[in-house]
Structure 1
Amino acid sequence: MSEIVTALEAGLPGLLADIGELVRTESPSEDLASVADCARVVAGLGTRLTGTAPEWVDSSGRPALRWRFGSGDRVLLLGHFDTVWPVGSLARHPFEVAGGRLTGPGCFDMKAGVVQLFHALSVLDGLDGVSVLLTGDEEIGAPTSRALVEDEARRTGAVLVLEASEGGALKTARKGMSGYELTVAGRAAHAGLEPGKGVNATTELAHQVLALSALADPAAGTTVTPTVAASGTTRNTVPDTARLMVDVRVATAAEQDRVDRAVRGLAPVLDGASLTFSGGPDRPPLPTSASAGLFELARGHYAELGLGTLRGVAVGGASDGNLTAGVGTPTLDGLGAVGGGAHADDEHVVVAELPRRTALVARLVDSLLRGAPAAPGRVTP
């Protein structure tokens, strides 16, 4: 096994201690004070391991942390330190290391990856050309950091995303996502005395649920899923309003455009009903063309490190890697912790994989700094 893997295995106790400190600093996305506290811990960790303090980028009270070493334009390491877990989750899911597994809220998604990122950089001889961007709102769709992520991606040659890896496979493609909210307006009436004078928003909503579901194309990898629905006020009143949320996942930008046009072209079925749609495309797809060159590089280094055969997988979930691929920058995702249970009670990290995956990140960064190509050219989203 490679010397870098051996060295990182020897340093595993320190890596585990750093993960423990970060996991114990709870940081649900909507709690700005907790996110800021976690940012301070991350800033201290990065400063200690790289010798450089970050730049704090603040938007609406929500911090992001950016490091640029030298030009910072060869490779961007990307991640987030917010989680879906509310403050107090540690009481039920404390940070623990036992039986070869590490547990605790947010350990897998993605606090272990943040720590691995800095430990990978700490073993390199030089960092000129590296940038690091860690945000505090990825779990809620990057409402304040999206432009920052895209701008950083535009100025760099490649992006490595330290999101977690289910089963050890890198994420070589991610579906794009769109989200819509439909509001149906009808007309209220007494359901017993004169229902015919009403326009039933629930009935109209049922028509629209079927129409929206029909926009899916399984062969193209497109899913259109009506999710949260609400209508009506009382049992004996014809409902005059209804609302529906819709989740859309697509493998290609062309499919995202097709579904968007079709959604906006839907018309009411009942006379007197009206439809209002809000929302739209949120994150573009991360296509295999965006990751192909970087994945081949990673697969070669994984074998050279004596770690076996590296796998890639396409997934339906989105990350900030979708944003970086969307602006045309080669992007490889899933380089963080190996484990499972993201957002669930069984969230965990496989301890033995921590130094191995950290070594892969270090080797990838070093290779890109030395001029290894991330892709034949800029990626066409």
Structure 2
Amino acid sequence: MTASPAPAAAALTTRAQEVSSRIVDDILTLVRLETSSYDLPGLAAGLDLLRELTVQRLGQPDHEHRYPGGECGDTLTLTYAGTGTGAGTGAGHVLLVGHYDTVWPTGTLAGWEQPGASDDGRDRLSGPGIFDMKTGLAQGIWALKLARESGAPLPTVTFLFNGDEEIGSLSSRPVIEEAAQKADVTLVLEPTAHGAVKTARKGTGIFQVTATGVEAHAGLAPQDGASAITALSEFVVAAAKVAAPDRGTTINTGLFRGGSAINVVAGQATAGVDIRVSSEAEQARVDEELDAITVSDPRVRIEIDHAWNRPPMTLNAASAPLLALAREVAREQGRDSLPDTAVGGASDANFVAALGLPVLCGMGAVGDGAHAQGEFIYPDTVAAQTGLVAGVLGRLVRPLRG
């Protein structure tokens, strides 16, 4: 890396503290507009709001593109050219990735209750998607704003906002991969793990299993039927035994549907199975062992859609210098350390890491409760996290790699 004049991390964090109430206001503005992954009108409105907020804080981007998501939320990229000495040919380019969709159905906000203070007396703010990951979005926008206001040279920064991360980034994955290949570094604004950045994540599979049996009258001729529900139940129980938690492999059947009427032997049943693995070897083993499962009634056909969604993520060689740089910034902020950790959840960082490119995930909120009623952030951490991202941007005016 080339040493460059950079805004002091401590000064950036102090400035973030001075405007932290405004950052929190922006967080709450995003949270108040619900953006369920399955609500296309809500997602469209949410992305419009996010773009408007970005432009309010940073001005019009030098380049933008909106990628239609089809049955998913659209993906938006907003690029702000680098500034000052060193910007231009050979300057760094940082990709900031964050999703604006949430797992919460539209209407959840109306019944949401705010938690009280934590056991140690710290204030908490709660709302659907506040932790995962609307706080990270607002912090990322403000990080660039504060870094630009410092007057120091900065890299080109591209924001990528996608509306389908919670359902597998089905539409946005190619956009993310292309953008990451054009950038020098990717920072994913997902929430932290209790303050730690995430350098390893499990790979994920979203399998659909279909059982096709033989319908019959449940009272007059049950022997003529072959129950898809019974067979699929057998499969689900057997699939659970393929899990190997000691190797980092978990299997969860989260959806089960089947049958047409209570007095009909079920001719059709489907199950949605969530699979998490820590290695490609485990991925291959799971595929093989699920395919080998048999059910007691040979008249029922079992079909498995092996939909591996995200590859496992590890701290690759390209990302290690980026982690070291982030830790240097954290030390300048006055932090004792910036830990990193492995987590079971996956994110869009998995795609970037699989390409062998430098990426850090978990640069966003500090709090807890992702995907759970009552998810929350600690508002007293907003300034430090915003300052961290701002400080890292200031160190990347020159490319980190190559």
TM-score range for the pair, normalised by the shorter chain length: 0.7 to 0.9
| Deviations, residues 58-93 of structure 1 (Å, cap 9, x unaligned) | 314643221223478632111012222333333333
2:168 corresponds to 1:141: yes
Q: 1:114 aligns with which of 130, 137, 141?
A: 137
2:94 corresponds to 1:75: yes
User: What is the TM-score when the length of structure 2 is the normalising length?
Assistant: 0.84
User: What is the TM-score when the length of structure 1 is the normalising length?
Assistant: 0.88
Aligned CA distance change for structure 1 residues 348 and 207 (closer, same or farther; 3 Å): closer
Residues 95, 105 of structure 1: 8 Å contact kept: no
Residues 173, 286 of structure 1: 8 Å contact kept: yes
Q: Residue 194 of structure 1: CA displacement? A: 4.7
Give the corresponding residue for 2:112. Answer: 93
CA distance in 2, matches of 1:86, 1:231: 23
Give the corresponding residue for 2:4. Answer: none
| Deviations, residues 128-182 of structure 1 (Å, cap 9, x unaligned) | 3322211122222222211111111122222111111241111111101001121
Q: How does 1:1-381 map to 2 (within 5 A)?
A: 2-53=10-61, 55-60=64-69, 62-70=73-81, 74-93=93-112, 100-124=123-147, 125-191=152-218, 194-233=221-260, 237-289=264-316, 291-373=319-401
| Deviations, residues 93-124 of structure 1 (Å, cap 9, x unaligned) | 37899863222222211111111101111122
CA distance in 2, matches of 1:249, 1:43: 33
* Structure 2: runs of 5+ lacking an equivalent: 1-8, 82-87
Residues 161, 332 of structure 1: 8 Å contact kept: yes
Give the partner amino acid of 2:364. Answer: G
Residues 307, 356 of structure 1: 8 Å contact kept: no
CA distance in 1, matches of 2:116, 2:217: 61
Where 1:132 maps in the other structure, the secondary structure is strand
Give the partner amino acid of 1:69. Answer: Y
Q: Residue 30 of structure 1: CA displacement? A: 2.1
CA distance in 2, matches of 1:14, 1:149: 29
Where 1:78 maps in the other structure, the secondary structure is strand
Where 1:260 maps in the other structure, the secondary structure is helix
RMSD over equivalenced CA pairs, Å = 2.7
CA distance in 2, matches of 1:96, 1:239: 45
Higher relative contact order structure (alpha carbons within 8 Å, sequence separation ≥ 6): 2
| Deviations, residues 275-325 of structure 1 (Å, cap 9, x unaligned) | 122241011111132643322322222122102212222111111111222
Where 1:16 maps in the other structure, the secondary structure is helix
Q: How many residues align?
A: 374
Q: Residue 349 of structure 1: CA displacement? A: 1.1
Where 2:395 maps in the other structure, the secondary structure is helix
CA distance in 2, matches of 1:211, 1:15: 49
Q: Residue 372 of structure 1: CA displacement? A: 4.2
CA distance in 2, matches of 1:210, 1:345: 28
CA distance in 2, matches of 1:146, 1:331: 15
Give the partner amino acid of 1:84. Answer: V
Where 2:367 maps in the other structure, the secondary structure is strand
Q: Identity over aligned residues, as a percent? A: 38
Give the partner amino acid of 1:276. Answer: E
CA distance in 1, matches of 2:140, 2:38: 24
CA distance in 1, matches of 2:75, 2:267: 44
* Structure 1: runs of 5+ lacking an equivalent: none
Structure 1 residue ranges, 4+ long, deviating more than 6 angstroms after superposition: 94-98
